[in-house]
Structure 1
């Protein structure tokens, strides 16, 4: 089975290369990968594995971490 999230993972790599590995310039691509991975686990169960996706527990942590960073960024704008 082909990895359904491989295009999103490749998009992150391309974005990082184009932006001198500045992750802050690739947040949209990262969010798209995490959304794909969430869908992957919702459809296939948490025991499923994808080389392009963090394990479910780590994925949830990373999504929560990114949400907190967005809240912090919005607070700094105020």
Structure 2
């Protein structure tokens, strides 16, 4: 993970959506990868850190709960 905060994972989502005619159900795995990356980002940088690729910490927690 770079200091850019999960940019590669966010780009992977865009690429997946493009390859799959924007069928989000086919990109679930790459979305989960982004969430895991963002979780590590906040663990390492603290919850006050910001990344343009990651949802805010409280939104991330909700998203990860929904994906279980």
1:1-78, aligned counterparts within 5 Å?
2-67=3-68
Partner of 1:61: helix, strand, or coil? helix
Structure with the larger RCO, 1 or 2 (CA within 8 Å, 6+ apart): 2
* Whole-angstrom distance in 1 between the partners of 2:3 and 2:59: 22
* Whole-angstrom distance in 2 between the partners of 1:61 and 1:48: 18
The higher radius of gyration belongs to 1
Deviations 1:28-65 (A, max 9, x none): 10011000000000001100000000000000000001
Q: Which runs of 5+ in 2 are unaligned?
A: none
TM-superposed deviation, 1:66 = 0.8
TM (norm. structure 1) is: 0.82
More helix, by proportion: 1
Q: Which runs of 5+ in 1 are unaligned?
A: 68-78
The CA RMSD over aligned residues, in Å, is 1.2
TM-superposed deviation, 1:2 = 4.2
The list of structure 1 runs, each at least 4 consecutive aligned residues, that deviate by more than 2 angstroms after superposition, is none
